[in-house]
Structure 1
Amino acid sequence: MTTTAALRAGQPWPILAYAFRPFFLLAALYAPLALLPWVGLLLHQLTLPLGMSPMLWHGHEMLFGFASAALAGFLLTAIPSWARVEPLVGVRLAGLVGLWLAGRIAFWFAGVLPGWLVAAINLAFSLWVLVWALPALFSPEGRRHLSLGLLAGLFLLAQLGFYLTWLDLLPAQSGGLGMLHLAANLLLVMIAVTASRIVRVISQVAVGESGSPRPLRFTPAREHLAVVTLCLFALADFVARGHPVTGWVALAAAAAQADRLSEWPWGRAMGRLYLLLLTLAYAWLTLGLALVGIAALSDGLPAYAGRHLLFLGAVGGAVLAVFCIAGLRHTGRPLVLSRLIWLALVCLVLGTLLRSAVPLFWPQHYLSGSVLLPTLCWLLTFWIYALSFARMLLSARPDGLPG
């Protein structure tokens, strides 16, 4: 159905027919823009009145700009299916999208606008999503998914803590960087929790399509152990980042994730790109935790190597996987991805490796190998996705169903 026909029929525009449509597209388009001030400063090509260090600004926009849009699109799309509630569509969805855009504009001008106003606009977006989600998750149908709502609430508290530190309302030792690390680690926990729901579905499809003889088996205890150890890591990393005890917790969490990965359908089924996307994201999660743990227990490895794997590889990869899987399923299409998504995956893997390895092995090429090239790879990853999925996200489902 075209936009004009939708309006005549009293239905919302296709882009406002479900939350994943505007938020997935906007997040993909915004992903590389959140790097510009930080990269521009490193290259001495761009100086903006950011109101904070470029590193903090960049971390905020990656987490509470890019990732928050992706999280909102996912939650506001998945919860109606889980809890059997009406989705947020039309004018109300447009208002939420407008609030997210206002938050991005406010943060680009954070150096000249009142800090409390910048914080209030951005918090209002996250709070709106949470206030909409929690009642549905507390319903009998949605209660089994309540953990995601609680994690989203903690994510909001980390965002609040960042602003309170920035506005000098919390002691400096609490650190805005610490709040950013906490928010990033909470995203890792959300990935582990969400994987329990997604992997079962797409594994069945992948095994059926590939004709793999291997039976599927997912042990709840292993999944729970993976989530619990990640929660312990997030807590330990917040209380004592870099401490040897935190290093051991990180290694335990890495082992639990690797154990969980062993049950996924390896073999012919892994040739299905939609399954491979999510599996690689989880593999980055496992490896990143291991490197963070080793860094805390020795002097031979800097902690940032593992952190880059966790955000670029695990969070970036999981976001791309969800964008692709949900983008196809909720627009009424089969799980068949464009060949361009293979290119997007290659760019993401290459960018993650360069960002982590170049500072370690070729520090003399830091700007070109660990800044410029990974930035270009990150841009291509999400703009290729936007190019591949824009038509689907902007047009109505071919089967005429809502969504």
Structure 2
Amino acid sequence: MKRHPILSEALRLFFPLAALHGALWPFLWVLVGSYDLPFAYDIAPSQWHAHEMIFGTYGMALAGFLVAAVPEWTDTKTSSGKTLLCLAALWLPARIIGALGADALSLLAGLFDLAFLLAVAAIIGRAMLERRTTKHLAFLAWLLLFAGAEAGVRYAWQVGDVELASRMLEAALCIFIVLFSLSASRINVVVINLALDPTGETSPYRPHPGRRHMAGAMVTLYLVAKLAFPDSDVSAWLALAAGAAFFDRLAEWFVGRAAFKTEVLLLAFGNASAGIGFLALGATRLGFNLSPAAGLHMLSLGALGCAVMAVFIIAGLRHTGRNLDRLPWQAHVSAGLMIVAALVRALPEFDALSAIAPYHHGLSAALWALSFGVWLHGFMPFMLRPGVDEQGSCG
């Protein structure tokens, strides 16, 4: 029986699901629900919102990337067909519960989320075991820690510990930032080389080996300090160090005019947003008059929003038989909308664009949703058609 193209590879199914969730969830939460959730009584709607962004939209995007990329990197068979449908079925119930903010069903939703993340871990772990390689073990380890953060959030909600839930949500955000850093160290080499030489015949760009993992290492130290010593200023200084490491990494994008290509610029903006976000977190915790939400939103919308959209564009084209030398107009528009959504959400918290402060939540949510909607408009037809470029890869 011939398999439908959308079930031939994880990202063909999971990227559109993540984009659909990313387009609908903030629209329902901000523009329809007016920041309220119908069945949220004990859990703050803002925490539901953060959880669904990280584990819903971003979690499915991460699964699509890893389930497609790791078998490719290990030259093993990729998951397809019923396996992908089963994974989607594990992910969906928690999203429905999250959309309603159903406190009473939070534990059930957590079980589905954990089953989903552990199933993804089993798939990529099996690929590495089959090849007897530990080269990509970091992705598996951080994915398992991501699942641990999910368990921590659900536990904190169950016992009514709001502060612990907040720390675990920030931990999940930091873990995703590390996964972004690890992914960027692979993707950036391919993307920048293709930007410099679209023919792919040469590789004029080589990253500095000492710069590739410094940012991720500093975020790891910050995460450990924040969880182990939440009242200590040590985590604040480590946040500043993590921000500096991301800014140091910006040197990777000093490649001349090619840096202004959409796919390259989007990754660079995500990296810069991570730097700004960690610097803001450190400054806030050292007593500067700055909202803690400023740094968190630069990380969640600026860094991760742009990183996810960049992967959607890059992998979405290369894994469906298309090159990066001619991006569809939807790629440029969705990238621009994602950047503007991040700036609109975060800048008023930095005392900039204060004129839009009463409306920036709704405006940012609308731009964020529109970004994913435009991507779906342009890329969904690619996902539904057969064919894959032999040169296409996730890095």
Normalised TM-score (structure 1): 0.89
Q: 1:17, 1:90 within 8 Å by CA — same for their partners in 2?
A: yes
Instruction: Give the total of aligned pairs.
Output: 389
User: Where does 1:100-179 land on structure 2 (aligned, <5 Å)?
Assistant: 100-109=91-100, 111=102, 114-140=105-131, 142-168=133-159, 172=161, 175-179=164-168
Q: Does the alignment pair 1:371 with 2:331?
A: no
Among 378, 383, 391, the alignment partner of 2:373 is 383
Change (3 A) 1:401 1:235: closer
How far did residue 182 of structure 1 move? 0.4
Change (3 A) 1:363 1:30: same
Query: Once superposed, which parts of structure 1, at least 4 consecutive aligned residues long, lie more than 6 Å away?
Result: 398-403
Identity of aligned residues (%): 33
Among 334, 346, 356, the alignment partner of 2:346 is 356
Change (3 A) 1:35 1:74: same
User: Where does 1:301-380 land on structure 2 (aligned, <5 Å)?
Assistant: 301-335=290-324, 336-359=326-349, 360-361=351-352, 365-368=356-359, 370-380=360-370
Change (3 A) 1:332 1:361: closer
**Residue type matched to 2:140 in 1?**
G
2:46 is matched with 55
How far did residue 36 of structure 1 move? 4.5
2:18 is matched with 27
1:226 is matched with 215
Q: Does the alignment pair 1:16 with 2:21?
A: no
How far did residue 238 of structure 1 move? 2.8
- Aligned-pair Cα RMSD in Å: 2.7
Q: 1:242, 1:296 within 8 Å by CA — same for their partners in 2?
A: no
Change (3 A) 1:242 1:357: farther
1:286 is matched with 275
SS in 2 for 1:262: helix
Q: Does the alignment pair 1:267 with 2:261?
A: no
How far did residue 280 of structure 1 move? 1.3
Q: 1:209, 1:269 within 8 Å by CA — same for their partners in 2?
A: no
CA distance in 2, matches of 1:362, 1:123: 40
User: Where does 1:166-205 land on structure 2 (aligned, <5 Å)?
Assistant: 166-168=157-159, 172=161, 175-205=164-194
SS in 1 for 2:289: coil
Gaps in structure 1 of 5+ consecutive residues: 1-9
CA distance in 1, matches of 2:242, 2:82: 43
Change (3 A) 1:221 1:341: same
**Residue type matched to 1:291 in 2?**
A
How far did residue 216 of structure 1 move? 2.4
Segment drifting more, 104-113 vs 46-55: 104-113
1:250 is matched with 239
Gaps in structure 2 of 5+ consecutive residues: none
How far did residue 140 of structure 1 move? 4.2
SS in 2 for 1:223: coil
Change (3 A) 1:222 1:43: same
SS in 2 for 1:50: coil
How far did residue 219 of structure 1 move? 1.8
How far did residue 242 of structure 1 move? 7.2
CA distance in 1, matches of 2:358, 2:184: 35
**Residue type matched to 2:113 in 1?**
N
Q: Deviations over 1:67-125 (max 9, x none)?
A: 11001100000011111221110112112112222221233355275443222222211
Change (3 A) 1:249 1:98: same
How far did residue 17 of structure 1 move? 0.7
Q: Does the alignment pair 1:90 with 2:81?
A: yes
**Residue type matched to 1:249 in 2?**
L
Change (3 A) 1:146 1:138: farther
Segment drifting more, 311-320 vs 336-345: 336-345
CA distance in 1, matches of 2:110, 2:245: 37
CA distance in 1, matches of 2:186, 2:139: 11
Segment drifting more, 311-320 vs 356-365: 356-365
Change (3 A) 1:245 1:178: same
1:4 is matched with none
How far did residue 398 of structure 1 move? 6.3
CA distance in 2, matches of 1:90, 1:222: 39
CA distance in 2, matches of 1:35, 1:53: 15
CA distance in 1, matches of 2:203, 2:321: 28
**Residue type matched to 2:236 in 1?**
G
Normalised TM-score (structure 2): 0.90
CA distance in 2, matches of 1:112, 1:283: 36
CA distance in 2, matches of 1:265, 1:98: 43
CA distance in 2, matches of 1:132, 1:122: 16
SS in 1 for 2:212: helix
